[in-house]
């Protein structure tokens, strides 16, 4: 990277910005975030194989870890927070996956070809969005620009990975439009031992296990995915801007060897609208209306497994789960300056519906409701204020949430006569929560090159429909396999963050530490052979260090290291292990960059220490430390054609990056099955601009 770009990472964190000019409309921004935040931009995305957002963030950000499920659809852990503890947004809009096992986490519902940048805000310091208890990740997609252009990109990689994407941009001073499409497909990757996803599963399951893949699917493709996106931006007046976007994504036959089922279909539809009015009055510097809608259809089944070929039925029969997740929301924000304080006030309203049923196939006969048509309705007001007093910057925020959760399908015929289910959830079909989140951050510039910050925050997240109301009851054996807990309280995170930043010559250094006191933390655990959830008290602490240094005008080095540790202060019933699950060990990244004229090259090392602190009561296990070497090169062949090439895991190591526990188990009560990372992966990306 160029020297100016690298050093701006530090400088932008200390400058109190006033506005950003974007062509005809002036889109004013609030002052920069006080606490350390991370950003992954499209240039970083370009130098990856562009397959999975979770994997991209894992490679570029030491604080983020990956929970491997398949070639795509991999979940994130940030500072030890996971699942709904992390708020993942797309252009500021909430989206949820459908699968209770997180086959399709929120980060899956975006194509890498769309990404302009990814903003990562750690800690409970986001009051604008519902549920940012542990962190917030906001994926910003590309905006249309003035002029006409077309971009064609083709990526080919190991294991017959193919991705073709095309986007067209057209616009003038008043209206701009962007349209894009991508198709990608891949065979199963092989780990360092040359074993495919199916072979890894076969090695870990007995030959009589009905969860095993059938032999005829041993060479099945790992997935096929199509994405379409569009965005229109129009300047209604000099001070008014309307932005509309549409996204469609469809992935079929995605293999998930660690789970009991594979995804027959993951289909996403998302619509976003945003209307900005600037300088409406002295009490409205920027007025913003936002609305969004998303619908995720997730169908998963056992037809690739031995369940699909019982000896009693030559035609085969299998089970499917059909799950639907719908999210709709509205937000009104007003920003203004008063008493030399930047203020933002707003109203945030959203509703999520989650519904799922198990079916016997191929007859499509309903077997049992799994998620009983649950609505989660949230209404909130929030306030932010930022003031600068000489070298001191003060930021405060507060949010009040009222949340109602209603399960509407306990009268469904598949469970209406099941007395065990009806008795367990009797008089507990509805929940309501009232919560206050707040934070205070202080940043002090010691001089022009040194600054410190301290932050105190409280964030919450309410239980989701699975944690409250999931139903998996074996009527024949009269036993629960998985059950929600309708008595769950909301999780609360009370966190202290501290940080220090300095610029020494051409070297930028950032050091951050945190301590999270978790009250009523929602935790999955094994109760005998049943998976369920409970509230516990716990704490997580840790820190990270990042360094960027220009060795000369052409060579730079960057490095980062992150560590966290989590402990239970109270224990789930009948358990004794005090280690919190899915708290990754020390992870580090070091990269050497070279850039001159139209050439760019990078050599990087990613490494992690042994996974020695784990929750053995709930299926976690020891994982060895690992290190891999990645190489990347880029060359602008002309001013319109660029070639990017890379090798991930140069030395073809066999390794596993993260643990998983009963919250993602193969079947209820079984110890989770861990999937190895890809072996040596060689790829090339040809990018053509017209």
Q: Residue 446 has what DSSP assignment?
A: S
How far apart are alpha carbons 240 and 237 in whole angstroms? 5
Confidence of residue 605 (pLDDT cuts 50, 70, 90): very high
Which range among 163-177, 256-270, 357-371, 451-465 shows the weakest confidence by mean pLDDT?
A: 357-371
Backbone φ, ψ for residue 56 (5° rounding): -60, -45
Q: Which of 406, 256, 224 is nearest to 321 (CA)?
A: 256
| pLDDT at res. 85 | 95
Q: How far is CA 510 from CA 81, 507, 593, 663, in A?
A: 21, 10, 19, 34
- Catalogue the long-range contacts made by 9-15 (C-beta closer than 8 Å, 24 or more residues apart): 9/508, 9/548, 10/501, 10/503, 10/508, 10/510, 10/548, 11/503, 13/451, 13/501, 13/510, 14/445, 14/451, 14/501
Per-residue CA distances from 523 to 487, 572, 673 (Å): 13, 8, 19
Whether the pLDDT of residue 285 is over 80: the answer is: yes
CB distance 442 to 454 below 8 Å: yes
pLDDT per residue as tens digits for the range 48-60: 888 888 889 999 9
Query: CB-based contacts of 617: which residues, under 8 Å, 6+ apart?
Result: 525, 526, 572, 575, 576, 577
pLDDT of residue 96 exceeding 70: yes
Contact 103, 298 (CB under 8 A): yes
pLDDT reported for residue 514: 96
What confidence tens digit (pLDDT) does each residue in 432-443 have? 999 999 999 999
In this predicted structure, what is the pLDDT of residue 18?
A: 31
Q: Domains in the chain, start-ordered, CATH in brackets?
A: 3-689 (2.40.170.20)
3-state helix, strand, coil in the chain (%, to 5): 10, 55, 35
pLDDT digits (tens, 9 = 90+) for 308-361: 655 444 455 778 899 999 999 999 999 999 888 999 999 999 999 999 998 887
State how far the Cα of 47 lies from the Cα of 61, in Å rounded to an integer.
Answer: 14
Q: Is the pLDDT of residue 546 over 80?
A: yes
pLDDT category of residue 667 using cuts at 50, 70 and 90? very low
pLDDT value of residue 19? 28
Q: H helices then E strands: how many in the chain?
A: 7, 34
Rounded average pLDDT over 630-656: 94
Q: What is each CA distance from 394 to 37, 121, 341, 447, 464, in whole angstroms?
A: 16, 17, 10, 17, 34
Q: How confident is the model at residue 26 (pLDDT cuts 50, 70, 90)?
A: very low
Residue 17 pLDDT class (50, 70, 90 cuts)? very low
In this structure, of 90-104, 298-312, 381-395, the range with the lowest mean pLDDT score is 298-312
403 band by pLDDT with thresholds 50, 70 and 90: very high
Task: Answer yes or no: are the C-beta atoms of 399 and 382 closer than 8 Å.
Answer: yes
For residues 593 and 2, give the distance between their C-alpha atoms in angstroms, rounded to a whole number. Answer: 10
Tell which residue, 299, 308, 413, has the closest CA to residue 362. Answer: 308
pLDDT at 450 over 60: yes
For residue 468, is pLDDT > 50?
yes
Least confident of 13-27, 154-168, 448-462: 13-27
Higher pLDDT pick, 6 / 477: 477
Q: How confident is the model at residue 528 (pLDDT cuts 50, 70, 90)?
A: confident
Q: How confident is the model at residue 30 (pLDDT cuts 50, 70, 90)?
A: low
Give residue 10's pLDDT.
36
**pTM, two decimal places:** 0.90
pLDDT at 230 over 50: yes
pLDDT digits 0-9 by tens, 151-179:
999 999 999 999 999 999 999 989 999 99
Q: How many Å is the maximal CA-CA distance in the chain? A: 80
pLDDT of residue 527: 82
Calculate mean pLDDT across residues 14-25.
30
pLDDT of 5 > 80? The answer is: no
- CA 213 from centre of chain: 28
Higher pLDDT, 531 or 226: 226
* Residue 23 pLDDT grade (very low, low, confident, very high; cuts 50, 70, 90): very low
Which is higher by pLDDT, 234 or 282? Answer: 234
Instruction: Choose from 316-320, 456-460, 617-621 the range with maximum mean pLDDT.
Output: 456-460
Amino acid 31: pLDDT: 53
Confidence category of residue 62, pLDDT binned at 50, 70, 90:
very high
As a whole number, mean pLDDT of residues 9-27 equals 32
- pLDDT tier at 670, thresholds 50, 70, 90: low
> For 63-72, 480-489, 664-673, which range has the lowest pLDDT when averaged over its residues?
664-673
Q: What is the pLDDT of residue 662?
A: 66
Report the pLDDT value the prediction gives residue 153, as an integer from 0 to 100: 93
Which residues touch 423 (CB under 8 Å, ≥6 apart)? none
Provide φ and ψ at 11, rounded to 5°: -65, -35
Which residue would you say has higher pLDDT here, 14 or 690? 690
Identify the residue whose tokens are 């304080």: 341
What phi and psi values does residue 621 have, to the nearest 5 degrees? -150, 165
Task: Compute the mean pLDDT over every residue in the chain, rounded to the nearest whole number.
Answer: 88
What pLDDT does 32 receive? Answer: 53
State the average pLDDT over residues 78-106. Answer: 92
């Amino acid at each position: 990277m160029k020297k100016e770009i690298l050093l701006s990472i530090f400088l932008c964190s200390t400058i109190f910005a006033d506005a950003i000019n974007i062509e005809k409309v002036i889109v004013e921004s609030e002052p920069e975030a006080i606490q350390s935040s991370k950003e992954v931009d499209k240039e970083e995305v370009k130098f990856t194989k562009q397959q999975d957002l979770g994997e991209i963030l894992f490679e570029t950000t030491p604080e983020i870890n990956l929970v491997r499920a398949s070639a795509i659809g991999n979940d994130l852990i940030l500072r030890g927070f996971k699942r709904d503890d992390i708020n993942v947004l797309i252009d500021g809009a909430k989206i949820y996956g459908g699968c209770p096992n997180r086959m399709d986490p929120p980060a899956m519902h975006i194509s890498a070809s769309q990404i302009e940048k990814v903003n990562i805000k750690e800690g409970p310091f986001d009051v604008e969005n519902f549920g940012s208890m542990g962190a917030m990740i906001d994926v910003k997609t590309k905006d249309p620009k003035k002029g006409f252009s077309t971009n064609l990109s083709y990526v080919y990689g190991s294991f017959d990975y193919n991705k073709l994407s095309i986007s067209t941009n057209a616009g003038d001073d008043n209206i701009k439009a962007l349209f894009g499409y991508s198709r990608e497909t891949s065979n199963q990757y092989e780990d360092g031992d040359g074993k495919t996803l199916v072979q890894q599963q076969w090695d870990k399951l007995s030959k009589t296990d009905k969860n095993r893949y059938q032999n005829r699917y041993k060479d099945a493709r790992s997935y096929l995915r199509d994405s379409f996106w569009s965005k229109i931006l129009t300047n209604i007046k000099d001070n008014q801007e309307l932005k509309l976007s549409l996204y469609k994504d469809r992935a079929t036959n995605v293999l998930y060897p660690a789970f009991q089922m594979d995804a027959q279909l993951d289909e996403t539809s998302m619509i976003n609208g945003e209307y900005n009015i600037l300088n409406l009055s002295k009490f409205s510097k920027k007025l913003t209306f936002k609305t969004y809608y998303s619908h995720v259809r997730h169908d998963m089944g056992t037809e690739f497994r031995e369940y699909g070929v019982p000896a009693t039925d030559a035609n085969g029969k299998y089970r499917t789960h059909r799950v639907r997740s719908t999210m709709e929301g509205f937000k009104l924000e007003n920003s203004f300056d008063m008493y030399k304080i930047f203020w933002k006030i707003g109203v945030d309203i959203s509703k999520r519906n989650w519904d799922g049923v198990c079916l016997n196939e191929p007859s499509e006969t309903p077997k049992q409701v799994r998620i009983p048509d649950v609505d989660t309705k949230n209404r909130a007001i929030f306030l932010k204020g930022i003031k600068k007093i000489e070298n001191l910057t003060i930021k405060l925020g507060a949010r009040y949430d009222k949340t109602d959760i209603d399960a509407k399908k306990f009268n469904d015929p598949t469970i209406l006569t099941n007395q065990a289910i009806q008795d367990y959830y009797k008089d507990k079909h509805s929940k309501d929560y009232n919560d206050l989140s707040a934070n205070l951050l202080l940043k002090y510039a010691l001089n022009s090159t040194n600054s410190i910050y301290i932050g105190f925050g409280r964030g919450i997240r309410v239980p989701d429909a699975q944690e409250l109301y999931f139903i998996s009851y074996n009527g024949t054996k009269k036993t629960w396999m998985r059950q929600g807990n309708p008595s769950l309280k909301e999780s609360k995170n009370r966190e202290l963050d501290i940080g220090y930043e300095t610029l020494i010559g051409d070297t930028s250094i950032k050091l951050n530490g945190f301590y999270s006191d978790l009250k009523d933390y929602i935790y999955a655990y094994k109760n005998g052979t049943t998976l369920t959830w409970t509230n516990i008290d716990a704490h997580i602490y840790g820190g990270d260090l990042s360094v960027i240094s220009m060795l000369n005008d052409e060579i730079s080095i960057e490095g980062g290291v992150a560590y966290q540790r989590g402990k239970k202060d109270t224990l789930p019933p009948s358990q004794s292990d005090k280690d919190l699950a899915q708290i990754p060990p020390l992870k580090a990244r070091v990269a050497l960059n070279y850039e001159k004229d139209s050439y760019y090259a990078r050599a990087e090392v990613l490494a992690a220490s042994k996974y020695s602190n784990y929750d053995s009561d709930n299926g976690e296990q020891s994982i060895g430390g690992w290190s891999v070497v990645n190489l990347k090169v880029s060359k602008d062949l002309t001013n319109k054609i660029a070639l990017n090439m890379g090798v991930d895991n140069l030395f073809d190591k066999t390794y596993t990056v993260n643990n998983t526990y009963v919250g993602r188990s193969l079947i209820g009560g079984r110890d989770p099955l861990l999937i190895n990372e890809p072996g040596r992966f060689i790829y090339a990306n040809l990018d053509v601009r017209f």
